[in-house]
Structure 1
């Protein structure tokens, strides 16, 4: 038997999430049944969507059950297999959750995906060449449908999704403006990722100031916006949007603590005949192969250079997750387990 430390959701947050919402336990991994594999996780993915699942409320995904392992993406290696497709040593990505090991029914659709680390490090398969990257790809390609020369804006731009969005939009000949928190993240956008402009939202904490910053960075208005945060940033984008602008709504991190996020002037959606569409990338598995191929090429050729924030050890996951919700991470937030 292999000892397995797990992080469970112990109780639901009231307002802001805290370390006290989680509990660590250690168990033995069960013996494998036919068709199952045992995966040792090298990395856990921490993502903003997890905060919404901690609530017992209507959302696009089922609530995280209390007393069960926190749901989340994982990358690791097969250490034991009773499925013919997988052998010990295979590197795989799945949804193993906040734990050191997972027992996976390998025949379930989408349960595991083998990955090639020849040109793309294993950890990037949880970020730029994984779910976050495909999220950026779908929002840009399928919802915004950019044309060369158009202006694209993305919030949370230095994170795993935002940085991939920038590289994908630049590859399509767009002008790309990123919104991020702090001068270091803004320099990363322009100096390393090739964004045309960056706006520090900490320097523009209200609607008037953010609107002015967007006007300066987007002299020809905004044609496409990838939404990760909501709040006054979305209000400012609506003020600067062109006719027939498109918004892909991926996340609303400003509202993950449960308070409503009102829009100041929703009539602008009508005035500008805008398309505003929310989406969940797991509902569009048919695009993943095409998206992952392009994202892998961008990383492999150095046109997308993802940053990572890496916490050490399974016990660090709750603190690292809470830091992510406050923007303390720089790039993709991971937990390294070995």
Structure 2
């Protein structure tokens, strides 16, 4: 490019920028005089959208596979929300990266209330730094479930916790504990359990709960970190059984199964499931969704679902603000846990 041509282009660019600046100043002055600028227009548009909300299908994105706890949670609440909100609720499984891909997708959609994330491993992925859609991008709507972890084994392989731990001690490096995803609640809590036992065991990640359960039944892993609900049919049939519960007190339904706390292990964290949405969503829409989810949570149908899947063991409900505070606390806790595990 010649120097003259380069100079001419530079002059044109500067001139264009100057015209744009003048046009912007003129527009700003005009809108200031009219008292009805672009920001007010956007605010009015958001208010109109909120007043008409919802008017079409709402999509709930699940970052884990079909048949797992988060998937069942989203579909159960989604079905109840259809009656409450009067629109279709479409649940979409978008697996990968411990649920991060689904959250990223929701964060990149318009902040209009029609795209929601079902979250479960949010605190861990945020603490690990693998979740770019943190609380500065997504805001919680409500927490619905506070689930309870267990270690599950095949009933024909181990009688109880003592036999399982003895086998692990006698076969270092041979015991595999399955969980859902890497960088997830499952991986961190499995690591904490292995660290607490002081034994040489390995964590094996699976894409979804169904794959993990199949691996246990097929003898590809010796145990899985799982909640009671997703495997209750296998438990009732006698194929799978819990050998320890991550809780302070024994469960009435399983009085013979010991807890982590009675073994001297401070492991009581469980998967907490709720919903989050783009942080720029109008507050009126967030409030409306929180109220609708609360109504779904209080229905007889959901309460029956809670009991059938052992979700009633801990109080699940937290509103938007309380849930945000809880997530902030959990993120801080897991950051500390992760630092401790990395330093060992």
The TM-score, its normalising length taken from structure 2, stands at 0.31
Ranked by relative contact order (alpha carbons within 8 Å, sequence separation 6 or more), the top structure is: 2
Greater percentage in helix? 2
